[in-house]
Structure 1
Amino acid sequence: MIDPHHDDAASAFARLALELHEAPGVEETVDAVVQFALQALNCTYAGVAFSARGSRPEVAAVTDPVVADIYELQISSQDGPLVTAMREQVPVLIRDTTTETRWPVWAGKVAALGVRSVLDVPLAAGPVPRRVVGVLGLYSPDPDAFAPDDEAVAHILARHASVALASARQEAALAHAVDARKLVGQAMGILMERFDIDADRAFAVLRRYSQDTNTKLRDVAQQLIDTRKLP
């Protein structure tokens, strides 16, 4: 485990920051976070779940299938330390799942999976009040596995991860938007050539089909490009 007061800790986090900065996308960024957690903390398993406005949390990365099981138990019931950390923007520490009283049903199932200690840390980004973008989950088969030093390192890791993930997701959204504009432009070109109409009319046709069929404009454009036919 990394000692947060040791010079090696600063070097390790500097390497992590560089690795996160150079990650080509969201998937690679979140994978780097969970792998670093395994190296830096006294945990056997790690995972990240993303928050989603108006919908259930999304499992973004796990180092072992047992983490996916732990997440799904909470996502299906909308209750547990993951949901609490995400909703209340506070870290949640469970020292022993066999004696946990806040979520006894969930804790019993997790203990049966061989996990005794749990530490969920929110990933928050943006200005205060910060927006929670997800939760970093750390798990150990040993009871009382996470010492104060582990919690300190987990919070540092969460801060690094929050910034990197927010940036990666923003870049992915921008890339998706640029791709959508390109698709719509290509579809408009097809309509303009086929029906001898101007750009405004071509866009109006695409938008009408999008509304009439309750299909995203990007998907209407993609279907026209692929099939040369409107939905």
Structure 2
Amino acid sequence: MTMGRRDRDRVAEVIAEEIRGAGPREVPQRLCDAVLKLLPVSGACMALRGDGIPVPLSASGERAAYVMEMQVTLGDGPCLEAAETGSVVSAPDLMSSRDACRWPVFAQQAAALGVRSVYALPLGDPAVCVGTLDLYRDVPGELAAEEVRTARVVAEIVTDALVALPRAESDDPDDIGCWLSPLATDHDDVYRAIGMVMAQLGVAADEALSLLRGHAFAKSRTVLELSHEVVALRTRFDDLPL
């Protein structure tokens, strides 16, 4: 048995044990929990590749979830680059000039939260990227070659686990086929808000998203927080100076 096969079997065993007995909506969170057991990271987050915006699926904790929300709000960061390129994106030191120049605002805000390095791995195959797995560390530095190999295997098996989940066949949120986690379904309001801004201002979807991002950033809010206000009619863009 080659080392690669042994690695894959070990990763598969840990992930299988973590998700054993879990319902479909619990699986994304359990997968993030398994990542922390398999890799020397302090946080992990998974996101699906959405239409112009990543959709957070699960996170290992509040900080990991917030770092992902920052990328959603800014429209910039390792996650978006990995989804766009289909390649692993490595940011070994967010306080270095190299990484800070790549994503200036994201790097500054993530480092302020204590995140010093980020690794974003595409979920899918070279032809189709369905999402990303983000790994966060409290210390700067590259992952060792063996750890990078393990991370790639983790991303492959996580993709297989997500693809194997049942698809929803009804609109009933209690249907066993409705497997999207609360973190993901919460982001439905972002798409609703985009539609409402389009209607209020008569603009296209990409411009509506840019306006949401810009206003959220100016108010030190996340896009998700602002979208909740728009959907609840507490904020209207046709009443705002743009």
* Short-chain TM bin: 0.5 to 0.7
Structure 2 residue 44 is matched with structure 1 residue 46 = yes
Displacement of 1:176 = 2.9
Query: Is 2:43–2:137's contact at 8 Å kept on the other side of the alignment?
Result: yes
Among candidates 137, 146, 150, match of residue 147 of structure 2: 150
TM-score, normalised via structure 1 length: 0.65
Query: Is 2:8–2:153's contact at 8 Å kept on the other side of the alignment?
Result: no
**Separation of aligned partners in 2, 1:94 and 1:135:** 15
Q: 1:172: which partner in 2? A: 167
Q: 1:15: which partner in 2? A: 13
Q: 1:75: which partner in 2? A: 72
Displacement of 1:28 = 2.3
Structure 2 CA distance for partners of 1:87 and 1:32, relative to 1, 3 Å: same
Point out where structure 1 has 5 or more consecutive residues left out of the alignment.
181-231
Query: Is 2:39–2:151's contact at 8 Å kept on the other side of the alignment?
Result: yes
1:1-231 correspondence runs (5 A): 5=3, 9-16=7-14, 18-19=16-17, 22=20, 24-52=22-50, 54-99=51-96, 100=99, 101-124=101-124, 129=127, 131-168=128-165, 171-173=166-168, 175-176=169-170
Structure 2 CA distance for partners of 1:26 and 1:97, relative to 1, 3 Å: farther
Structure 2 CA distance for partners of 1:103 and 1:55, relative to 1, 3 Å: closer
Structure 2 CA distance for partners of 1:26 and 1:135, relative to 1, 3 Å: farther
Point out where structure 2 has 5 or more consecutive residues left out of the alignment.
174-242
Displacement of 1:73 = 1.4
**Separation of aligned partners in 1, 2:8 and 2:163:** 22
Q: What is the one-letter code of the residue matched to 2:111?
A: A
Structure 2 CA distance for partners of 1:30 and 1:24, relative to 1, 3 Å: same
Q: In terms of mean alpha carbon deviation, does 15-24 or 141-150 score higher?
A: 15-24
Query: Is 1:26–1:172's contact at 8 Å kept on the other side of the alignment?
Result: no
Structure 2 CA distance for partners of 1:55 and 1:41, relative to 1, 3 Å: same
Relative CO higher for 1 or 2, CA cutoff 8 Å, sep ≥ 6? 2
Which structure has the greater CA radius of gyration? 1
Displacement of 1:26 = 4.2
Displacement of 1:18 = 3.4
Query: Is 2:74–2:106's contact at 8 Å kept on the other side of the alignment?
Result: no
Report the number of matched residues: 170
- Greater share of residues in helix: 1
Q: What is the one-letter code of the residue matched to 1:45?
A: G
TM-score, normalised via structure 2 length: 0.62
